[in-house]
């Protein structure tokens, strides 16, 4: 579905961001794309959606070369960016103008999500708050039913109930033939919904695993003391004691703590699979 081979990209001649990056993702999953500020997450989403063109290498998305911006390609991919520039139109007028661009757009789904997000068709888009605009564009993105949804910091600006609604709607509305990539620093917002984690560091993929592959091997626990454990892979102090990563023993699996895992990866902790 997304296949990029040895792609290179740089904004300036002096410094390259991606060098020989190979990135492949298949349909049917929700991928969390994580990385520190400046790691290259938004640039990668822009390359996938065809807003940027690789300097070298090949990228193919849904069978198309993204930067050629074939209309069939554009009607099956949707990128939600963190910065929104919405026109001075009502939601109704916006939908009349833009829904025809998406062949699988589901008006009923859009209405149902807008109801959950407390948005009204008569609302003027440029008069909405940033969080309300974000909710509108998330609703629109999900209702397009595009094969590929790229969400850059989707929960930024959303209040706590809306984050819960976002998770619920995303999980319930995604079909087997869709691929969702969510780039975010708000890892708690996506912890329970992603199937796969990709970590970018300075333009390189330094970690890529399915959540099940991780939780089969690593336990994530809160313990009062680490003294009695000889096999702690990574630990961090917390008010109640320590958050720890331990190897799974006796099939005793836990849920995942993505923040802890991310910190372990960026602190160069060796995690053996
Ligand atoms: N338009 C641009 N012109 C020049 N350099 C840019 C441009 N956009 C991004 N960069 C640089 O490319 C690098 C990667 O930026 P990018 O926005 O892809 O990272 P990111 O992982 O999305 O970061 P953040 O988490 O802060 O949003 C950074 O060093 C950034 O300064």
- The enclosing domain of 30 has a CATH number of 3.40.50.300
Same domain for 67 and 111? Answer: yes
Q: Give the residue numbers spanning the domain of 254.
A: 212-266
Same domain for 40 and 143? Answer: yes
Same domain for 193 and 261? Answer: no
8 A C-beta contact, residue 178 and residue 14: no
Residue 235 CA to residue 240 CA, distance in Å, equals 13
Distance 40 CA to ligand 1 centre (A): 6
Same domain for 37 and 85? Answer: yes
Q: Is 63 left (phi over 0), alpha (psi -120 to 50) or beta?
A: left
Distance 268 CA to ligand 1 centre (A): 22
Q: Which of 177, 202, 227 is the last residue of a domain?
A: 202
Ligand 1 atom index nearest CA of 39 = 21
Distances, alpha carbon 49 to alpha carbons 39, 140, 149, 175, in Å:
18, 17, 10, 20
pTM reported for the whole predicted model: 0.95
Same domain for 188 and 225? Answer: no
Distance 83 CA to ligand 1 centre (A): 14
Same domain for 190 and 216? Answer: no
Residue 175 CA to residue 165 CA, distance in Å, equals 18
- Enumerate residue ranges in the chain where pLDDT < 50: none
SS3 category, 128: coil
Q: Which of 155, 181, 202 is the last residue of a domain?
A: 202
Residue 241 CA to residue 231 CA, distance in Å, equals 17
Ligand 1 atom index nearest CA of 40 = 18
Same domain for 163 and 237? Answer: no
Same domain for 36 and 155? Answer: yes
Q: Which one of 11, 18, 47 would you pick to mutate in the ligand 1 pocket, going by the greatest count of ligand atoms within 8 A of its CB?
A: 11
Domain-located, residue 207: no
Distance 150 CA to ligand 1 centre (A): 17
Distance 3 CA to ligand 1 centre (A): 22
What pLDDT was estimated at residue 24? 96
Q: Which of 176, 202, 228 is the last residue of a domain?
A: 202
Same domain for 177 and 253? Answer: no
Domain-located, residue 116: yes
Same domain for 240 and 127? Answer: no
Q: How many domains does the chain have?
A: 2
Binding site membership of 9 for ligand 1 (Cβ less than 6 Å): no
Binding site membership of 40 for ligand 1 (Cβ less than 6 Å): yes
Residue 10 CA to residue 16 CA, distance in Å, equals 4
Domain-located, residue 238: yes
8 A C-beta contact, residue 185 and residue 35: no
Domain-located, residue 271: no
Same domain for 194 and 224? Answer: no
Side-chain-side CA neighbours of residue 5 (13 Å): 4
Domain-located, residue 38: yes
Q: Whose CA is nearest to atom 10 of ligand 1?
A: 11
């Amino acid at each position: 579905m997304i296949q990029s081979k040895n792609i290179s990209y740089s904004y300036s001649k002096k410094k390259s961001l991606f060098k020989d990056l190979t990135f492949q993702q298949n349909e049917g999953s929700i991928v969390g794309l994580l990385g520190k500020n400046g790691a290259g997450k938004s640039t990668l989403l822009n390359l996938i959606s065809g807003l940027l063109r690789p300097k070298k290498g090949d990228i193919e998305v849904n069978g198309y070369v993204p930067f050629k911006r074939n209309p069939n390609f554009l009607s099956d991919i949707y990128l939600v960016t963190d910065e929104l520039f919405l026109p001075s139109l009502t939601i109704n007028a916006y939908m009349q103008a833009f829904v025809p661009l998406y062949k699988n757009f589901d008006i009923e789904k859009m209405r149902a999500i807008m109801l959950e997000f407390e948005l009204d068709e008569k609302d003027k888009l440029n008069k909405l708050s940033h969080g309300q605009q974000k909710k509108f564009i998330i609703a629109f993105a999900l209702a397009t039913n595009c094969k590929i949804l790229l969400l850059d910091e989707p929960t930024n600006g959303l209040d706590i109930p809306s984050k819960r609604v976002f998770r619920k709607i995303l999980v319930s509305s995604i079909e087997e033939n869709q691929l969702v990539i969510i780039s975010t620093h708000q890892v708690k917002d996506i912890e329970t919904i992603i199937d796969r984690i990709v970590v970018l560091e300075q333009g390189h993929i330094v970690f890529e695993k399915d959540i099940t592959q991780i939780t089969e091997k690593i336990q994530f626990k809160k313990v009062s003391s680490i003294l009695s454990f000889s096999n702690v892979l990574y630990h961090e102090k917390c008010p109640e004691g320590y958050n720890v990563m331990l190897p799974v023993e006796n099939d005793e699996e836990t849920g995942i703590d993505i923040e802890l895992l991310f910190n372990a990866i960026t602190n160069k902790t060796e995690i053996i699979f």
